[in-house]
Chain A
Amino acid sequence: MKILRNAAVVPVVASVVTTLAFSGIAMAGWEPKKPVDFVIMAGKGGGADKMARLMQSVIEKHKLASKPFIPINKPGGSGAEALVHLKQKAGDDHTIMVTLNSFYTTPLRQPGLGVDVMTFTPIGRMAEDTFLLWVHKDSGIKNVDEFVKSAKTAGNKWIMAGTGKGQEDQLLTNFLNKAYGLDMKYVPFKGGGRVAKELAGQHANSTVNNPSEQLGFYEAGNTVPLAAFTPDRLPLFKDAPTFRELGQDFVYFMQRSVVGAPGMSKEAEDYYRGVFTKVYESQEWQDYMKKKSLQGAFMTGDELKAYWKQEKEIHKKMLKDIGEI
């Protein structure tokens, strides 16, 4: 039974190491009594997943919690699986989740799930991810005017690659089609990294990637950002104007928030709020935000709920516009 015993030692060693690392810290008030389920409503390797693992690393490195946070990916059904899981965990003090904008869109598109995100516990908004319009350098397109001209000529042969159907990228594509009278074709791919590659390999004509997804190709000079869906120009891409500057009053962000199961106890809520406030303030998180052009201040409690409410309404309208609901 040598192999079996040795193999079983691996997770045991891992947990012993973490437990040792955490012992000896005492904080007043509520503390988790067992490892915390850290649900990620997206697959392994995606933007949300990377961020969740960064948060987990920061928590472990600075010993911010007395019990480990265990990431669990539940990517099924554009986050539907994760949302339902959290709903079923109502009242649980040991289940939290990292969310993105499918937090709004999936329950709107699938009312059958019976998920009301307003019942979830607001722990903290860690950042807002930004979006830009990208084209390949070899297209010769340098600004939005030229983009509109080329895309108009190409008609529905102009390919916009994006992540899943009815999600952020398609909402933005729809906005561009409407605002500039275009007929771009939206082709969904799995994950933002894959979308970025489709543009770099010129299998698509344009994308609306987050900076973190295009950064590698941008720095190598393969792709060009034309304009940003933000209120102000992004420090990383100073030459790209905002759509607002170009006369289109349109701003769009992707939330990166941590939420708790519905009906979580007040003590637990406060505890997680404390942990993630410290994560937000950590050097690692601040560096990451700067490097990936993330924006947004830390937001929690009623303020975060009000933000959700406002964003939910915006997404409802956008989804109606493209006929998804």
Chain B
Amino acid sequence: MEILDHLLQGFAIAFQPLNLGLVIFGCALGLFIGAMPGLGSVNGVAILLPMTFLVPPTGAIIFLAAIYYGAMYGGAISSIMLGIPGASTAVATTFDGRPMALQGQADQALITAATASFVGGTVSVVLFTLFAPPLAAVALAFGAAEEFALMMLAFATFVGLGGDDIPKTLFSIFIGLVLSAVGLDIISGQPRLIFGDITGFMHGINFLVLAIGIYGIGEMLWTIESSKGEVKISQATVTVGRVMDSLRKFKNYGKTTLMGSVLGYFVGILPAAGATPGSLMAYGVAKTISKHPESFGKGNPEGVAAPESANNAASTGSMLPMLTLGIPGSPTTAILLGGMVIWGLEPGPLLFVEHQEFVWGLIASLYAANVFSLLINVAFIPAFIWVLRLPFTILAPLIFVLCIVGGYAPTQDMHDVWLILIFGVAGYLLRKLDYPLAPAVLAIVLGPLAETSMRQALLQSNGEMMVFFQRPISGPIMITAVVLFLLPLFKLLKARWRASKAANPGA
């Protein structure tokens, strides 16, 4: 019961008036930071880091963690309402959240997102509370080979994502992989595909640039064309009754949400992965295990619940390697890590022993952050819905401006703005030609991780491919991935066999 003792102490710290105030303020601020495209949790935390000198370190990390958390909730809002991912972690939420909003179920989508985030956040904090030190050992055991196996598993969960047209899906994946290769190659130290010396390409193509282009600009062009100027987004009304109804419906997605929570948490723990791959994987798995995979991408609430539970769980998970190993599990925790340096705390295996007040105060505050994020989020839903009532002639320029600002803000480089416009137009044309775009987005997120880890593992093993199958952790993951890759093929063969059997009953 030592853990319970620690946790109670933690709650005593988290519920000190100053710290509790910081949690609430942080959650509210994070919610809006997350909802603003381009102002994700990374930028929000980075901007506010120096301000935390005003409070003690425990209060500071509680504040920043609350922003991080709130932003995870907030990212879903613009994904659902505007079709622009508010943060990279919320891209998968657009896949089904946006169609739901267009069908007049925006309120349900928002509530599903908020509730799933809450479940994901809470499940992961419980896991964190109970198993932090042993799980740190798991993170440590994850080397390059294991990382590659995990990436393969992520790709495998997306085999079915592109729909039926396999060549078009492959094309989309390859476009994503080529785009992900742009920039400095870490293994050889050489720049790749920078077209002479265009410096903007040196930092690679930011995944958010592609996502904002395709989903923000592309979606807008698509809406303009398909509506021929007379846009009528079916409007949602919000009443207490509808909210309660949505909450009741939520239990139907309980299984998906739990899956997303646990998956997201484990992906979050692993260094280098983080919430974006976690949410994409959860979406892929949700679709794979669903009884109605064809309804995904057309407004299935499970397609919102899975990534939203996963990205919150992953954000908790990525604090584990940060605290215990001193390695950031996500870009935002990298900034938090910098904060710990400023506050004079040494992350590492001893942090849990030497700075119990800090660690357990943080953990306890995460429980509180979840509750407040949910409450604030639900309270503001009517305000969000109101956005959808705006005439499209006002909304479209606004989305456009948000896209441009969102692309410019992270790197402050006009190069990225031009890329967004190009991707927007290209994405629109590809969509017209019925190419699935989600696989390209997945490829640009996972491509660099998969490539680097594969080459590192092969360097370590002197080019021996079997390294991926022989190691105790990577082996089972890799085999699962291979099975998942082959599953559609197997299903196809089985269907053919059945069909031929039905055609010739005697044979």
Contact = CB atoms under 8 A, between A and B. Distances in A.
Interface of A: 1-4, 6-11, 14, 17, 43-46, 49-50, 53-54, 56-57, 60-61, 71-72, 74-78, 80-81, 84-85, 109-110, 112-113, 156-157, 159, 164-167, 185, 187-190, 193-194, 196-198, 200-201, 203-204, 212-213, 215-217, 219-220, 222, 284, 287-288, 291, 324
B186 A203 contact: no
A175 B108 CA distance: 62
Given A57-B53, A76-B183, A197-B327, A287 B342 contact: no
B331 A44 contact: yes
A200 B189 contact: no
B347 A216 contact: yes
B460 A200 contact: no
A156 to B, nearest CB: 7
Nearest to B185: A165
Contacts of B335: 44-45, 53
Nearest to B142: A201
A141 to B, nearest CB: 19
A110 B190 CA distance: 9
Interface in B108-125: none
A7 B53 contact: no
A38 to B, nearest CB: 11
Contacts of B53: 57, 60-61
Contacts of A197: 140, 271, 321, 325-327
A279 B313 CA distance: 39
Given A2-B386, A200-B140, 19 more contacts: A7-B36, A44-B331, A49-B338, A50-B341, A50-B342, A53-B338, A53-B342, A54-B342, A77-B199, A81-B202, A110-B191, A164-B189, A165-B187, A188-B456, A197-B321, A197-B326, A198-B143, A201-B142, A216-B351
A113 B337 contact: no
Given A7-B33, A78-B189, A193 B326 contact: yes
Nearest to B144: A203
Q: Which of B46, B48, B272 has the most CB of A within 10 A?
A: B46
B75 to A, nearest CB: 12
B483 interface: no
B184 interface: yes
A3 B35 contact: yes
A61 to B, nearest CB: 5
Contact of B462 (A2, A45, A75, A157): A157
23 contacts: A3-B384, A7-B36, A7-B39, A10-B36, A45-B328, A49-B338, A74-B411, A75-B203, A77-B191, A80-B184, A110-B191, A164-B186, A165-B190, A185-B460, A190-B272, A193-B326, A193-B328, A193-B337, A197-B326, A203-B143, A216-B325, A219-B349, A220-B350
B412 A72 contact: yes
Contacts of B387: 1, 3-4
Contacts of B22: none
Interface residue range, chain B: 35 or more
A80 B341 contact: no
A280 B61 CA distance: 25
A84 B201 CA distance: 12
B250 interface: no
Q: Which of A7, A71, A85, A190 has the most CB of B within 10 A?
A: A7
A166 B64 CA distance: 36
A201 B141 contact: yes
B326 A189 contact: no
B401 to A, nearest CB: 10
A-B CB proximity, top 8 nearest:
A216-B348, A45-B334, A165-B189, A76-B203, A76-B202, A220-B349, A203-B143, A77-B202
A11 B33 CA distance: 9
A252 B186 CA distance: 23
A8 B398 CA distance: 13
B52 to A, nearest CB: 8
A202 to B, nearest CB: 8
Given A60-B53, A197-B327, A216-B326, A77 B344 contact: no
Interface in B26-55: 29, 32-33, 35-36, 39, 42, 44, 46-51, 53
B188 interface: yes
A313 B460 CA distance: 32
B44 A10 contact: yes
Nearest to B34: A7
Given A7-B39, A216-B347, A220-B348, A57 B143 contact: no
A165 B186 contact: yes
Contacts of B386: 2
Contacts of A2: 380, 383, 386
A3 B77 contact: yes
Nearest to A196: B326
Given A57-B342, A194-B271, A219 B33 contact: no
B188 A165 contact: yes
Interface string B247-271: 0000000000000000000000001
A50 B143 contact: no
B459 interface: yes
Contacts of A44: 42, 46, 331, 334-335, 338
B451 interface: no
B456 to A, nearest CB: 6
Contacts of A10: 29, 32-33, 36, 39, 44
Interface string B130-146: 00000000001111100
A222 B187 contact: no
A77 B183 contact: yes
Q: Which of A75, A188, A215 has the most CB of B within 10 A?
A: A188
